[in-house]
Amino acid sequence: MTILERLEVFPVILVALCSVVLLVSQNWRYSILALAIQYVGVFWLVGTIWPFGLAVVKLVAGWMAGAALSASQPEEGLREEAAPGASRAVFRTLAAGLVVILVVSVTPLVQGFALIDPQSLQGGLILIGAGLLHLGMSTRPMRVILGLLTALSGFEILYAAVETSVLVAGLQAIITLGLALVGAYLLAAPGMEGGE
């Protein structure tokens, strides 16, 4: 048993907490930090299935995506139009809590279809659920990109159990980076001069 496998519940809690922070935060620095830590959790969960060298691709790609997004200082792209308030944060936290409860309750059912350990399954499903929740609740470009990155990283955990191809891992990393670059472009485009 590897060290990663012994601490198997920790990354699930880590990704769940990070996804809640991403959902609630109105500060782009905290969001990027949460995204970076979330990718540590993703790397951890994928590392229990894939060899270390391959799993680390997820971490590097995720961190690079975070760096690309933070380079455009996405404050305006993150802040919702209505004034931020405690009720919004409470509502989003509760919604994320419902996602976690749903995931825990459906895990035994889904495990019948997928040959994957319960921790990776829960981690993947929580990220997919939180990502979709984020996409459903937000209209700001930065939030949409964060939601997509969250949902896709959840999918990547699940997909790691069925596909170990290096090429697929590489292409998925390119897409993660591409999404971040598109996000950076979406954030920077309003400030560009016409025709750039």
Site residues, other proteins (CB under 8 A): 113, 135, 139, 141, 144, 147-148, 151-152, 155, 159, 162-163, 166-168, 171-172, 174-175, 178-179, 181-182, 185-186, 189-196
Nearest to other proteins of 4, 99 (CB atom): 99
> Any idea what the Cα angle at residue 16 is, between residues 11 and 20, rounded to 5°?
145
Q: How far is the CB of 98 from other proteins (least distance, A)?
A: 21
Nearest to other proteins of 18, 149 (CB atom): 149
Nearest to other proteins of 3, 192 (CB atom): 192
Nearest to other proteins of 4, 55 (CB atom): 55
Nearest to other proteins of 82, 196 (CB atom): 196
Reading the block at residue 119, the tokens are 């921790």
Is residue 193 helix, strand or coil? coil
User: Of 54, 69, 43, which is closest to residue 143 (Cα–Cα)?
Assistant: 69
Q: How far is the CB of 50 from other proteins (least distance, A)?
A: 15
Query: Exposure pattern of 18-31 as b/e (b: 16+ CB <10 Å)?
Result: bbbbbbbbeebeeb
DSSP letter string, 58-97: HHHHHHHHHHHHHHT--HHHHS-SSPP-HHHHHHHHHHHH
Nearest to other proteins of 4, 150 (CB atom): 150
Q: How far is the CB of 109 from other proteins (least distance, A)?
A: 13
Q: How far is the CB of 39 from other proteins (least distance, A)?
A: 17
Q: How far is the CB of 119 from other proteins (least distance, A)?
A: 20
User: Of 180, 107, 158, 127, which is closest to residue 21 (Cα–Cα)?
Assistant: 127
> Any idea what the Cα angle at residue 131 is, between residues 129 and 137, rounded to 5°?
100
Q: How far is the CB of 5 from other proteins (least distance, A)?
A: 23
